[in-house]
Structure 1
Amino acid sequence: MSDMANAIMDAAERRIRAAGYNGFSFREIAADVGVKSASVHYHFPTKERLAAAVASRYTDRFLKSVESRVATGADTLEAWKGEFRRALAEDGQMCLCGALGASARNLPAEVITEVRAFFKRGIDLLTSSGMSVEKAMGLFATLEGAMLMANTFGDARAFDQATSIYG
C-alpha cells in the first residue's frame, strides 16, 4: 500500500472513529491529507471500498497487537483488556469496528463484511485459547461497552470500572 493510500486510510479512520461511517466525505479526507478529492478517488473509488479497507487494516493491526501481548506472556484476558485499554488511552475514541458496528444495519455490505470479520476473528481467537463462545462474546461485549462508557463519560476510569469484573 502506498504512503498516500495509508495517509488517506489514517484520515478516514480518525473520522470514522469520531463520527461513524456517515461522518466523513472524500472532500474532508482530501482536505485532511492535503490532496484533491480526485486523488482519494484514485486510491479508493468508493466510500464503501475506503471504509472496508480501513476496517480490514484495523482488524489486522488490532488482532496482531493482541497476539503480540499473548506471545510476550500476557494471559488471554489480560491481552484483550490491555489492548482495548491501550486503544482508548492512545486513540481516545471508540474501537473502529465497534463504532461501525453500532450502525451495522445501515452499512453497505462491503463494510459490514469487514466489521463482522473483526468480531468473528476476535471470537475465534478467544475460543482457540480455550474460552467458550458465550464467554468470548460476553468479554467482547463488555470491552466494547466499557469503551462506550468511557467515551460517554469522558473518563477512561469508566473503562477500568466496567472491566473490573474480569480482574
Structure 2
Amino acid sequence: MQTSPDSSTESATTADQILDAAQAQIQRRGYNAVSYGDLAAPLDLTTTAIHYHFPTKADLGQALVARYREQNAAMRSTIRTEEDDLRGRLEQYVEGYVEILERGGLCLCGVLAADDETLPEPVRREVRRFFAEQEDWLTAVIAEVHDDGAGLAGYDAPREVAELFLGTIEGTMLTARAHGPDAYRARLYRLIDTLTT
C-alpha cells in the first residue's frame, strides 16, 4: 500500500520523535530502565503507536544506535575537513562529548555498553560497530602525525593510543559527570597536550 507524501513525512517525523525521546531517556537512565510506556506519555502517543514504528525494543535500540552512528560519522567527517592538525581534531572530537554532558546525558553507546550482556544481539552489534568506528578514526588521525605511540610510554602504535584515548573519553564521562562539562574538558585536554607536544 502506498502512502501519500504527507502521511509518509508524518510517519518519519513520529519515528524521529520516538528516537529522540528514547535517546534522551536512555542516555540518562540506561536501556533496561526505559519502557515504551515511558516514551509514550511525553510524546502523547500510545504504546501501540510506538510498536507500529518499532515492533520490538530491539528494533528501537538498533535504529537508535544506527542513527547515532550516522550522526557521529558526520561529526567526524566535519572535524576532518575543518581541522588541519591533530590538536584541533582531538579537541573538536572531545567537544562533541562535552555537548552530551551539557545536555545532562552520557554517550549513548557508553551507556549501552554498560548493559552489554543484557542487550539484544542486533543492538549489541550496533554498539560494537560504533566503538570500532571511533577507534579506526582516532587511529587514522593519530597515525597522520605519529607512526609510534605519540610519545606515551608503553604505547607503541597509533591504534593503542586511540584505544586509550577513547577509553578515557568514555570512562571520564562517568567520573567527571558530577564535576560538570568544564572538568571533563580539562581532563581530556591534558591528555591531548601529551599527545600533541
- State the TM-score, normalizing by the size of structure 2: 0.78
CA RMSD across the alignment: 1.6
2:120 corresponds to 1:108: yes
Q: Does 1:120 align with 2:132?
A: yes
What is the CA-CA distance between 1:133 and the residue it aligns to?
A: 1.2
Corresponding position: 1:82 with 2:95: yes
Larger Rg: 2
Match of 1:155 among 162, 176, 180: 180
Could you tell me which runs of 5 or more consecutive residues in structure 2 were left unpaired when the two chains were aligned.
1-10, 144-157
How far, CA to CA, are the matches of 1:4 and 1:100 in structure 2? 23
User: Is the aligned partner of 1:15 residue 2:14?
Assistant: no
- Give how far 1:129 is off: 2.4
Query: Match for 1:138 among 144, 160, 164?
Result: 164
* Residue 81 of structure 2 is aligned to residue 68 of structure 1: no
Uncovered stretches (5+) of structure 1, i.e. residues with no partner = none
Q: Which range is displaced more, 123-132 or 54-63? A: 123-132
**Which amino acid counterpart does residue 89 of structure 2 have in structure 1?**
T
Which of 108, 113, 138 is matched with 1:96 structurally?
A: 108
State the number of aligned residues. Answer: 165
- 3-state SS of 1:92 partner: coil
SS at match of 1:45: coil
1:158 partner letter: A
Q: Once the two structures are aligned, what percentage of the paired residues are identical?
A: 32
Q: Is the 8 A contact 1:76 1:126 kept in 2?
A: no
> 1: distance between equivalents of 2:173 and 2:142?
25
Deviates more, 1:155-164 or 1:20-29: 155-164
Q: Against the structure 1 CA distance between its residues 154 and 51, is the aligned structure 2 distance closer, same or farther, given a 3 Å change threshold?
A: farther
Quote the Cα distance in structure 1 between the aligned partners of 2:140 and 2:125.
22
Q: Which residue of 2 aligns with 1:34?
A: 44
Structure 1 length as normaliser, TM-score? 0.91
